[in-house]
Chain A
Amino acid sequence: MYQAGYRDFHKNMTYTSDDRETLYTVFLSKERGWSTYWNIMKLRSREAWIWIFGLGVLALFAPWFENRVSFCIPRMLGVDFCPGCGLGASIGHLVRGELVESWAAHPFAVPTVAILIGRIIHLGRLERAQNNKENTNG
């Protein structure tokens, strides 16, 4: 039901047998190497890049940030209570496999990472469908 319109574009796209063969050989060939994974660099969605950057920074540097840097805006303004505090540390622990510490810092690390990665994938698919649509319309 979700994004039915975009899926229909994929269905209605007409590949010639030549195209299909080329796609298949590219998929099967060992030469595809890194180029397949570099496709992520073509992503133009600003929101997707913000989430990728945020998750990446937290995954790499969250333990270092602890007691040094805080991204919490209420804390910067001098308010003590914030329901999102500890999420960064929690994601940092989760990436390193420290599940107990992760839960102690903030219980939502797993759903947050899952939903954000889902959102990034969704935005990527949306963009790919739009690119295909532009190509088919010439």
Chain B
Amino acid sequence: MANVLQLIPDAEPDEMMYLHMLMEPMNDMQAGMFASMYRSRRKEPTMILLLTLVGFLGIAGINRFMLGQMGMGILYFLTAGFCFIGVIVDLVNHKKLTSEYNQKQAFEVANMMRAMGQL
């Protein structure tokens, strides 16, 4: 069984859970392929935190755009993140938002590998 810690060392603790679940049935080659695809797609919570902080300069919602939430992004951009209250909400939730995105990417990568017959 492939080692999640070795292949994706920058994973957060809650990220480990679903990565372990997804990578359990893979052999070493499949796990390596999965890890390289996943690591190129995943976002770092620190980067999302920085983009959220940019919101305090008046351009809110960049973090939401980066996480693929276009509706929320446009709303934040046009209302200055609900008078900056939304920016504070996102500061508090930045880890959860990032892990939501990363989890979606992990499942998409696994589905893609399944579709290509690699899994």
Using a CB–CB cutoff of 8 Å, the interface residues on chain A facing chain B are 3-6, 8, 45-47, 50, 54, 71-75, 82-85, 87, 108, 111-112, 115, 118-119, 126, 133, 137
Query: Which of A6, A111, A137 contacts B21, CB < 8 Å?
Result: A137
Are A71 and B83 also in contact (CB < 8 A) when A3-B104, A83-B78, A137-B21 are?
yes
Are A108 and B78 also in contact (CB < 8 A) when A3-B104, A8-B111, A84-B83 are?
yes
A5 to B83, Cβ gap below 8 A? Answer: no
Are A47 and B104 also in contact (CB < 8 A) when A83-B80, A108-B75, A112-B79 are?
no
Name the distance in Å between B91's Cβ and chain A's nearest Cβ: 12
B96 to A46, Cβ gap below 8 A? Answer: yes
**In the complex, what residue of chain A is closest to B68 when comparing beta carbons?**
A2
Interface contacts (Cβ under 8 Å), in number, total: 66
B110 located at the interface, meaning its Cβ lies under 8 Å from any Cβ of chain A in the complex:
yes
Name the distance in Å between A73's Cβ and chain B's nearest Cβ: 4
B107 to A84, Cβ gap below 8 A? Answer: no
